[in-house]
Structure 1
Amino acid sequence: MKMKKSENQEKKSNISVEISLDENHVPDRLEWSAPDGGINHQPTKAVMLSFWDETKKEALRIDLWTKDMPVDDMKIFFHQVFVSMSNSYENATSDKNTAKLIREFAETYAKASEIID
């Protein structure tokens, strides 16, 4: 008997992060995969992942970095996250003024952390 595919059947996708820990439970190696995007076991030095808890109206976060993540790279990573947040915020809300404030903060941060002059 053939089963008819449901018209409402949703496609699912998976993104995963694999964390290798040292003897002190500190991340030693991070790899992420997004098979639908062609990414499998891609090494990375840091990851920031946020989830929205609608019931509690709060962000739940996972921030991880390897013990050998260079501080200068971490500063650049944060700067790029701030810029990306401003773009995401503007796309999600169409609030150009607040997005501009986030971008200005990102530039102020970049100067304070000495990643730009």
Structure 2
Amino acid sequence: MKRKTQITLTVTLDENNTPEDMEWSAPDGGVKEQSMEAFFLSTWDKDAQESARIDLWSKEMPVDQMQVFVHQTLIGINASYLKATDDTQMGEAMQQFCDFFASERNLKDIKKRN
């Protein structure tokens, strides 16, 4: 039986339409009004054969955290690509880029902040 569920993104904007606060909820997954500093959302239009994106981050998000976020997102994209295509050759190339990105940005030195 089909059923629908919702994932909700709530963005509070300042007077310049810059994100100040962002939250997401996924009631079926036990997530309610979870604060976040950034999100990248991609969708696929099968008729137009193109993706659409919404990339938002709060004005308070530090650059070092954005670098970590982008790196982790790239790793996740690679994992999704491998799962969907089983293209290990491209997956290895993408992983090499992820490793290069981390090395160039010295991400191994970034510590989790309290």
TM-score (ref. length: structure 2): 0.91
Q: Which residue of 1 aligns with 2:50?
A: 58
Structure 2 partner of 1:3: none
Gap regions ≥5 residues in structure 2:
110-114
Deviation at 1:93, TM superposition (A): 0.4
**2-structure distance, mates of 1:43, 1:60:** 24
Aligned to 2:105: 113
* Match 1:86 to one of 75, 78, 87: 78
- Percent identity reads 40
Q: Which stretch of the first structure deviates more once superposed, 87-96 or 9-18? A: 9-18
Question: What is aligned with 2:24?
Answer: 32
Query: Residue 11 in 1 paired to residue 17 in 2?
Result: no
| Structure 1 residue 87: Cα displacement | 0.6
Superimposed CA distance per residue, residues 58-101 of structure 1 (whole angstroms, 9 cap, x where no aligned partner) = 11000000000011000000000111111100000011111111
Q: SS at the partner of 2:79?
A: helix
Deviations 1:1-60 (A, max 9, x none): xxxxxxxx4111111100000111100000000110000100000000000011111110
Taking only aligned residues, the RMSD between alpha carbons, in angstroms, comes to: 1.1
Shift >6 Å, 4+ stretches: none
Q: How many residues align?
A: 109
**Structure 1 unaligned spans of 5+:** 1-8
Q: Which has the larger radius of gyration?
A: 1
2:59 equivalent in structure 1: 67
> Which amino acid in 1 is paired with 2:25?
S
3-state SS of the aligned residue for 1:82? helix
CA distance in 2, matches of 1:49, 1:16: 12
